[in-house]
């Protein structure tokens, strides 16, 4: 069994070996522990450094909190700040809310995102779900629905907790979803906000902690349309930034970086200056994949995907070297959706830029008895390698398809060319 697994791993490595091309190299000197650059429209990953590593996010957590506030709260209904919600550590950033203070949804979201108010995060959590714990559960459910499969949040603010973790990829997916939420960008990109006084508090003015949105900081970038900062001792400096140039929007996430703004500026310049639009054309809008039972082919599954895929490739890239990777549904009890992933040619040692799209299952055909699997087949589209799953249980039900369980099976095919701290110096 160990030999079989080792052989499969070796085959996978051969299939995705980086290809040297005459194209722009990714930026050197990115100091972040993890960094990821994503095209907001397509979801294509343009740069990836440890993008799937589990790390603490600190206050960039509040992007998801703000998104849920806009989705769940009635803008006309007042929100009351409880004594427990406004009781936060003295070292944490605050909007200086007071127990019993009534806020509108607008005020609460600005107090959350601009000064990175941990008290505002707690107030929103209680207003949406009734308790911090229930809101954390909602956050995790919403993150998973956005494709963030490696995120587990325990609070609405991002204050330190060893169990409160995410990845750079997941934060990009969450931010992409937030940008599609009506009204979110007005908060995410605001430089300042003046909050009217009330019976308990005087008028307050909030300023965004993201320096690329602040005209009074040297890091200011007029193409940046939104962003969120984060910092704790355990997470280090974290930063999420959205920028728009010539109609394209990119999302940049850096985690645990002492040079978060320099890393972000370099990655945004790289993404905007070196990628051009390209349409990848599949020969057919569907693909039939083998279903393996050990070393025997037990049947095939027909999947459908879009025939023409808009993406971005680096100038100088040979589009004929784009690699296609298919994946069967990982949890068929919940979804029969697989994936098709396009991997662009990469520099030596670089994680390939990639775009992942849904793959909808259409039908399953079972062989009786199962026939021996072909290790390699030549087709007009290139070379296919059938990599067996370790087990397979499935059934077809009358009137529809029901797959009881299908372990992860992946097939890769080489397609032929057709084609820091916040400005206040506090943990936020």
Residue 252 — left, alpha, or beta (φ > 0 → left; ψ -120 to 50 → alpha)? beta
Per-residue DSSP letter, 330: S
Report the distance separating Cα 174 and Cα 418, nearest Å. Answer: 33
**Which residues touch 103 (CB under 8 Å, ≥6 apart)?**
78, 79, 80, 81, 97, 111, 123
Tell me the CA distances in angstroms from 160 to 55, 92, 124, 379, one per residue in order. Answer: 11, 10, 19, 53
Burial tier of 75 (Cβ tally within 10 Å: 0-12, 13-18, 19+): exposed
Q: Give me 244's structure tokens.
A: 């728009």
Asked if 338 contacts 25 with a C-beta cutoff of 8 angstroms, the reply is no
**Distance from CA of residue 118 to its chain's centroid?**
23
Dihedral over Cα of 87, 90, 91, 96: its sign: positive
Residues labelled catalytic: 59, 62, 116
Angle, nearest 10°, between helix axes 132-145 and 118-129?
A: 90
Rounded to the nearest 10°, the torsion over CA 67, 70, 71, 74 is: 160
Pure H helices in 130-231 = 132-145, 168-179, 184-188
**What three-state secondary structure class fits 232?**
strand
Which has the closest alpha carbon to 122: 82, 90, 93? 82
Q: Rounded to a whole number, what is the largest CA-CA distance in the chain?
A: 78
Question: Given 3-state DSSP classes, what are the helix, strand and coil percentages for the chain, each rounded to the nearest 5?
Answer: 25, 35, 45
């Amino acid at each position: 069994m160990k030999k079989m697994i080792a052989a499969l791993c070796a085959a996978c490595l051969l299939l995705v070996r980086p290809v040297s091309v005459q194209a722009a190299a990714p930026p050197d000197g990115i100091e972040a522990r993890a960094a990821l650059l994503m095209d907001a429209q397509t979801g294509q990953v343009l740069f990836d450094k440890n993008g799937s590593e589990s790390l603490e996010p600190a206050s960039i957590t509040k992007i998801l909190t703000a998104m849920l506030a806009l989705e769940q709260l009635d803008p006309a209904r007042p929100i009351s700040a409880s004594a427990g919600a406004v009781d936060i550590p003295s070292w944490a950033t605050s909007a200086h809310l007071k127990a019993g203070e009534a806020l509108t949804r607008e005020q609460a979201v600005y107090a959350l995102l601009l000064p990175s108010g941990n008290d505002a995060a707690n107030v929103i959590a209680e207003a949406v779900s009734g308790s911090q714990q229930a809101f954390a559960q909602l956050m995790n459910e919403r993150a998973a629905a956005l494709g963030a499969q490696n995120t587990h949040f325990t609070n609405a603010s991002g204050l330190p907790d060893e169990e409160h973790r995410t990845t750079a990829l997941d934060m990009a997916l969450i931010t992409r979803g937030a940008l599609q939420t009506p009204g979110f960008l007005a908060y995410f990109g605001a430089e300042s906000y003046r909050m009217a006084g009330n019976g308990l508090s005087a008028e307050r003015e909030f300023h965004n902690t993201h320096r690329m949105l602040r005209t009074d900081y040297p890091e200011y970038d007029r193409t940046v349309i939104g962003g969120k900062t984060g910092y704790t001792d355990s997470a280090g400096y974290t930063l999420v930034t959205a920028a728009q140039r010539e109609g394209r929007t990119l999302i940049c996430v850096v985690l645990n970086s002492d040079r978060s703004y320099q890393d972000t500026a370099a990655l945004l310049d790289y993404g905007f200056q070196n990628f051009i639009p390209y349409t990848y054309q599949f020969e057919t809008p569907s693909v039939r994949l083998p279903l393996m039972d050990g070393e025997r082919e037990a049947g095939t599954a027909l999947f459908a995907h879009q025939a023409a895929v808009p993406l971005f490739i680096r100038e100088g890239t040979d589009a004929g070297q784009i690699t296609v990777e298919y994946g069967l549904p990982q949890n068929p009890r919940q979804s029969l959706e697989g994936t098709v992933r396009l991997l662009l040619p990469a520099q030596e040692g670089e994680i390939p830029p990639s775009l992942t799209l849904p793959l909808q299952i259409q039908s399953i055909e079972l062989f009786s008895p199962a026939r021996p699997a072909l290790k390699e087949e030549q087709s007009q589209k290139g070379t296919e390698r059938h990599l067996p799953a370790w087990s397979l249980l499935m059934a077809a039900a009358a009137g529809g398809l029901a797959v009881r369980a299908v372990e992860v099976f992946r097939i890769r095919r080489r397609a032929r060319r057709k084609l820091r701290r916040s400005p206040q110096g506090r943990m936020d």
